[in-house]
């Protein structure tokens, strides 16, 4: 499964490069419908390093979620004996694998199907009852470099439309998990059933395999899923998966982040909430002061080794350090409290200026403020009692 | 001429007539013997002769099969004075005097079903059937006891054996010689009792009656219950091999969903203990008592993860395919080995360590004899054409709901 995904990514990236070239020539393709679509090319904004960093931070890396139990053909268990160093190495590798799994599918513009005629040989008109499709099946070519042309019955030689090209590629170089015909679950009525059952991950994972990011279906289906999630407010299903970033980007692009923001505040992910607002400001060039706060967050946040942290967590060491004991009891560190102090005013500023669901958000902020104040008091009290600065 | 003719006719006529009236056969006088076992023996003896087997025959196991005849008690269902003809017999089935009138012998017109009822009772007597046992409750083979459940052991001093189940593993006849009684026969029963959560015990008991032997064995097993550690509540901790006498068992740990692929006795034992997944191969003798003892020895000698990490001073780490091979710490030592030390050879490999440096010989599987035959190759060639038919069928059904291309 994993390998397949990686392969798929490689494929996506290949097509993505081709799209960059194509995107510059095509104009607006947005259609006015119930499903929100990108009206401009979102790719430059999406691939921007700052955006990527924000999206990755918001996605969060929860190992329990990434490596949650799934059905596999071989569910055997292997045991190994290890020293601390070996274990640390193993954790590092595992974190790398986790990061790989969180690699986001690209958000690019929809590609338009254009008729590109190579030559018009009217002498060949009526040479056959059917048109001929000619595919270049040279070994080792990228799918995007592979030429597929059609000789029409009237003698015209032209590049094959996208649909035929995709079918030919799948026919000669099948991609595991992709079927030649579109699976019926993507038909309207079945998709609606899947959405109603909240099988968002299932839909998105299959969609990523079945469609390329520049295909219209990719856009409509993902948009439908994101909008449905926004209605049911089940953002946590996608958290710590590769689809959380594109979803957040989608909401920020279409200026409907309030529900997601509310969810983040309620779950005490205040840093993520601030990042979400920053993303919104960035995408729409609203308030330039967001850069400051991001810088400050970066400064406060210690550069910690993720693998070591996870390892410590796993070992659940009865640590002799009182400081760590207090932290694990309350669930927050001194740094977390400082970050909260930094993020809360920024969030409140957004709520007062731009938010659509003001009352709800204000209430949530107030509640989380009180809870954190209480936690802080407790934290300081215990620290003082133990004589820890 | 006429006279001669007339005379010969008369002789022929007489001859024919005589033959018709009394065929020309020697007259045989039947001799009757008026004594036989019918009038010499009592009814009881005769019935026994017909329906039972002699002592010598019994010893050889005769008279046990389907052709066994059962004596029918013809008196059953009969009452004096009641028969197929509906009669009033004063003094027999009716009072002699009713009031001041004397009751007369009288035939009643009503028809009774006396005959049919009696026949029904007699038919039932002949065809005795063993009550049908649910297929789940049946043992390993037929109506035999081995493999069958005999319920939880009896309570000891109000100590109830709740959630316990006992299974018979062996039920056989054994003989011993006694000074005054000679060859004495008893039933020997080996059974195992357990609660499917790691508690189990087994015992052998002998008794002259099967039922007593079963009970004794069950209750004795309950007194010998021991704790067997289960890994993840479904299997053994690691591969191991164990032996008792000439029996050697190679046990392999298997993941959830594998099942019990082993000898039927091992399967039953595992089910009672609570092991749901394992592979076992017996080499050598398949003596049941030895199998049980060998398996119990092996299970008790397992090294738990805590033990391993304590002895090796290393972490035991679990890698599950279903959780993306993320390392999961199962047990950690008190003080871990210095990381710079190279791991000594004997503890570098988990499997090698748990098997005590022994390696089980894996025999190479030979290709089947037909692999090079002309017919098999032809078969493969023919199969190649239709190798994807099933997939196409499924696909067509999925997309078009029909087995025709659109």
Task: Look at chain A and report how many structural domains it folds into.
Answer: 2
Question: Which of A64, A74, A81, A90 should one mutate to test binding to chain B, selecting the residue with the greatest count of B CBs within 10 A?
Answer: A81
Q: Do A80 and B317 touch (CB under 8 A)?
A: yes
Residue at B166 is within a domain: no
Instruction: Examine residue B170 and state whether it is found in any structural domain, yes or no.
Output: no
Maximum separation of any 2 CA atoms in chain A, in Å: 96
Helix count and strand count (H, E) for chain A: 17, 5
Residues of B whose CB is below 8 A from A94? 325-327
B252, B259, B309, B322: best mutation site toward chain A, by most A Cβ within 10 Å?
B322
Residues A25 and A68: beta-carbon distance below 8 Å: no
- B387 CA: distance to closest CA in chain A (Å): 17
Shortest CA gap A192–chain B (Å): 18
For residue range B340-392, list pLDDT tens digits in order.
Answer: 565 666 567 888 889 988 888 888 999 999 999 999 999 999 999 999 999 88
User: For residue range B135-192, what is the model confidence (pLDDT) as tens digits?
Assistant: 888 899 988 999 999 999 999 988 899 999 999 999 999 999 999 888 999 999 999 9
User: Which chain A residues contact residue B256 at CB under 8 A?
Assistant: 75
Pairing of strands B315-320, B327-331: antiparallel
> A134 is in which domain, residue-wise?
117-160
Q: Is residue B80 part of a domain?
A: yes
Structure confidence at residue A17 (pLDDT): 42
Looking at the fold, whether A365 and A320 belong to one and the same domain comes out as yes
Among A79, A85, A91, whose Cβ lies nearest the Cβ of B318? Answer: A79
Residue-wise pLDDT tens for chain A (389 aa)? 333 333 444 444 444 443 333 333 333 333 334 788 998 899 999 999 999 999 999 999 999 999 999 999 999 999 999 888 888 889 999 999 999 999 999 999 999 999 999 999 999 998 899 999 999 999 999 988 999 999 999 999 999 999 999 999 999 999 999 999 999 999 998 999 999 999 999 999 999 999 999 999 999 999 999 999 999 999 999 999 999 999 999 999 999 999 999 999 999 999 999 999 999 999 999 888 888 888 988 888 877 777 777 787 777 644 446 666 666 667 778 888 888 888 999 999 999 999 999 999 999 999 999 999 888 888 888 888 877 75
CA distance B236 to chain A (A): 12
**A209: in domain:** no
Domain of residue B82 covers: 43-59+69-126
Residues of A in contact with B254 (CB under 8 A): 76
pLDDT in tens, B7-33: 555 666 666 666 666 555 566 778 887
Q: Same domain, yes or no, for A283 and A371? A: yes
Q: How far is B315 from chain A (nearest CA, A)?
A: 5
Name the token pair of B140: 């390993």
On whether both A317 and A382 belong to a single domain, the answer is yes
Longest distance between any two alpha carbons in chain B, whole Å:
149
pLDDT at B66: 65
The 3-state DSSP class for residue A346 equals helix
- CA B169 – CA B273 distance, rounded (Å): 14
Residues A93 and A240 in one domain: yes
Is residue B394 one of the residues assigned to a domain? Answer: yes
**What does the pLDDT read at residue A170?**
95
Q: Is B147 left (phi over 0), alpha (psi -120 to 50) or beta?
A: left
- Looking at residue B31, what is its pLDDT? 81
- Give me the pLDDT at residue B342, please: 58
Mutate to test the interface with B, among A82, A312, A315 (most CBs of B within 10 A): A82
Cβ-based neighbour number of residue B358 at 10 Å: 10
Structure tokens given for A309: 């942290």
A289 and A259 in one domain? yes
Same domain for A258 and A382: yes
Residue B96, domain member (yes or no): yes
* B318, B327, B337: residue with CB nearest A83: B337
The pairing of strands B278-284 and B260-261 is parallel
Final residue of a structural domain among B84, B111, B126: B126
**Residue B338 pLDDT:** 65
CB contact, 8 Å: A181 with chain B? yes
- Please judge whether A63 and B326 are an interchain contact, meaning their C-beta atoms are less than 8 angstroms apart: yes
Do A239 and A360 sit in the same domain of this protein? yes
Q: ipTM of this model?
A: 0.79
Cα–Cα dist B371/B374, whole Å:
9
Minimum CA–CA partner of B254 in chain A: A76
Same domain, A90 and A155: no
Contacts B341 to A, Cβ<8 Å: 83
Looking at chain B, the number of H-run helices and the number of E-run strands are 13, 14
A184, B399: Cβ pair inside 8 Å? yes
Q: Are residues A64 and A132 located together in one domain of the fold? A: no
A8 occurs within a structural domain: yes
Which residues, 6 or more positions from B34, have their beta carbon under 8 angstroms from its beta carbon? none
Collapsed DSSP state (helix, strand, coil) of residue B403: coil
Domain assignment of residue A102, yes or no: yes
Does residue A281 or residue B118 have the better pLDDT?
A: A281
A184 near B CB under 8 A: yes
Count how many domains chain B has: 2
Q: Which of residues 140-199 of B touch A (CB under 8 A)?
A: none
3-state DSSP assignment of residue A314? helix
Buried b (16+ CB within 10 A) or exposed e, A271-280: bbbbbbbbbb
What is the pLDDT at residue B20?
64
Q: So what's the pLDDT on residue A324? A: 65
Q: Which residues of A touch B305 (CB under 8 A)?
A: 79
Q: What's the whole-number mean pLDDT along residues B68-89?
A: 80
* Secondary-structure breakdown of chain A: helix, strand, coil percentages, each rounded to the nearest 5: 60, 5, 35
| Structure confidence at residue A389 (pLDDT) | 59
Q: How far is B163 from chain A (nearest CA, A)?
A: 30
DSSP B156: B
Confidence class for position B126, pLDDT limits 50, 70, 90: low
Do residues A241 and A360 share a domain? yes
Residue B2 in this model has a pLDDT that exceeds 50: no
Which of residues A125, A160, A195 is at a domain's end? A160
Q: Give the pLDDT of residue A1.
A: 34
Per-residue pLDDT band for B4 (boundaries 50, 70, 90) equals: very low
Q: In B, which residues are within 8 Å of A315 by CB distance?
A: 329, 332
Q: Could you tell me the sign of the dihedral formed by the alpha carbons of B394, B398, B402, B404, in that order?
A: negative
> Cβ–Cβ of A84/B312 closer than 8 Å?
no
**Overall average pLDDT of the B320-324 stretch:** 94
- Distance, in angstroms, between A285 CA and closest chain B CA? 41
pLDDT at A199: 95
Interface test with A, best of B279, B303, B323, B396 (most A CBs within 10 A): B323
Q: pLDDT value at position B23? A: 57
The whole-angstrom separation of Cα A318 and Cα B403 is: 65
Element (H, E) at B240: strand B240-244
**Any CB–CB contact under 8 A between B319 and chain A?**
yes
Taking contacts as CB-CB distances below 8 angstroms, the residues of chain B near A82 are 314-315, 317
In a domain, A179, yes or no: no
């Amino acid at each position: 499964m994993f390998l397949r995904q990686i392969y798929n990514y490689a494929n996506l990236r290949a097509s993505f490069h081709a799209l960059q070239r194509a995107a510059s020539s095509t104009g607006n393709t947005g259609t006015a419908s119930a499903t929100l679509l990108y009206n401009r090319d979102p790719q430059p904004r999406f691939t921007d390093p700052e955006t990527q960093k924000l999206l990755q931070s918001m996605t969060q890396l929860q190992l329990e979620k990434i490596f949650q139990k799934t059905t596999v053909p071989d569910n055997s268990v292997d045991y190994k004996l290890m020293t601390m160093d070996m274990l640390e190495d193993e954790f590092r590798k595992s974190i790398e694998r986790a990061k790989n799994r969180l690699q986001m599918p690209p958000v690019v513009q929809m590609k338009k199907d254009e008729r590109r005629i190579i030559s018009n040989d009217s002498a060949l008109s009526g040479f056959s009852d059917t048109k001929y499709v000619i595919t270049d099946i040279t070994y080792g070519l990228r799918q995007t470099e592979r030429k597929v042309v059609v000789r029409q019955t009237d003698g015209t030689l032209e590049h094959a439309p996208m649909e035929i090209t995709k079918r030919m590629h799948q026919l000669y170089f099948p991609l595991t998990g992709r079927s030649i015909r579109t699976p019926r679950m993507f038909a309207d009525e079945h998709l609606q059933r899947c959405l109603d059952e909240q099988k968002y991950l299932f839909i998105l994972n299959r969609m990523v395999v079945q469609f390329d990011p520049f295909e219209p279906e990719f856009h409509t289906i993902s948009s439908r899923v994101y909008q449905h999630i926004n209605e049911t407010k089940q953002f946590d299903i996608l958290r710590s998966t590769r689809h959380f970033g594109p979803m957040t980007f989608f909401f920020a692009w279409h200026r409907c982040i309030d529900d997601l923001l509310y969810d983040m505040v309620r779950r005490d992910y205040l840093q993520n909430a601030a990042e979400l607002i920053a993303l919104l400001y960035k995408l729409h060039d609203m308030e330039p002061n967001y850069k400051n706060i991001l810088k400050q967050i970066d400064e406060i946040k210690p550069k910690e080794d993720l693998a070591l942290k996870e390892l410590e967590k796993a070992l659940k060491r009865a640590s002799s350090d009182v400081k760590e004991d207090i932290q694990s009891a309350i669930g927050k560190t001194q740094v977390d409290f400082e970050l909260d102090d930094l993020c809360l005013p920024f969030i409140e500023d957004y709520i007062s200026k731009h938010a659509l669901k003001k009352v709800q958000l204000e209430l949530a902020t107030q509640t989380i403020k009180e809870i954190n104040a209480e936690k802080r008091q407790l934290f300081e009290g215990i620290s003082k009692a133990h004589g820890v600065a | 001429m006429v006279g001669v003719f007339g005379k010969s006719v008369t002789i022929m006529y007489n001859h024919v007539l005589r033959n018709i009236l009394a065929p020309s056969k020697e007259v045989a006088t039947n001799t009757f013997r008026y004594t036989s076992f019918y009038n010499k023996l009592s009814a009881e003896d005769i019935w026994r002769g017909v329906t039972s087997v002699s002592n010598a025959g019994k010893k050889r196991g005769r008279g046990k099969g389907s052709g066994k005849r059962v004596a029918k008690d013809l008196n059953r269902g009969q009452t004096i004075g009641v028969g197929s003809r509906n009669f009033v017999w004063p003094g027999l089935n009716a009072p002699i005097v009713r009031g001041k009138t004397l009751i007369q012998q009288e035939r009643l017109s009503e028809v009774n079903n006396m005959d049919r009822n009696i026949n029904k009772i007699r038919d039932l007597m002949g065809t005795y059937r063993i009550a049908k046992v649910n297929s789940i409750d049946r043992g390993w083979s037929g109506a035999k006891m081995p493999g069958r459940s005999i319920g939880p052991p009896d309570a000891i001093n109000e100590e109830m054996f709740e959630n316990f189940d006992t299974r018979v593993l062996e039920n056989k006849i054994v003989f011993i010689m006694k000074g005054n009684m000679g060859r004495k026969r008893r039933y020997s029963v080996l059974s195992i009792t357990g609660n499917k959560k790691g508690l189990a015990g087994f015992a052998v008991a002998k008794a002259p009656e099967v039922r007593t032997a079963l009970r004794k064995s069950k209750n004795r097993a309950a007194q010998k219950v021991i704790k067997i550690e289960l890994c993840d509540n479904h299997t053994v901790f690691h591969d191991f091999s164990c032996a008792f006498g000439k029996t050697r068992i190679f046990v392999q740990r298997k993941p959830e969903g594998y099942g019990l692929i082993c000898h039927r006795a091992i399967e039953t034992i595992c089910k009672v203990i609570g092991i749901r997944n394992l592979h076992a191969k017996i080499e050598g003798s398949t003596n049941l008592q030895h199998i049980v003892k060998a398996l119990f020895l092996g299970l008790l000698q397992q090294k738990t993860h805590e033990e391993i990490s304590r002895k090796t001073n290393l972490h035991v780490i679990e890698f599950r395919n279903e959780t993306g091979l993320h390392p999961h710490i199962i047990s950690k030592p008190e003080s871990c080995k210095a990381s710079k030390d190279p791991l000594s050879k004997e503890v570098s490999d988990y499997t090698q360590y748990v098997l005590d440096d022994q390696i089980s010989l894996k025999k190479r599987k030979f290709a089947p004899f037909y692999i090079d035959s002309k017919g098999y190759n032809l078969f493969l060639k023919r199969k190649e054409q239709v190798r994807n038919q099933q997939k196409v069928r499924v696909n067509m059904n999925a997309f078009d709901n029909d087995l025709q291309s659109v």
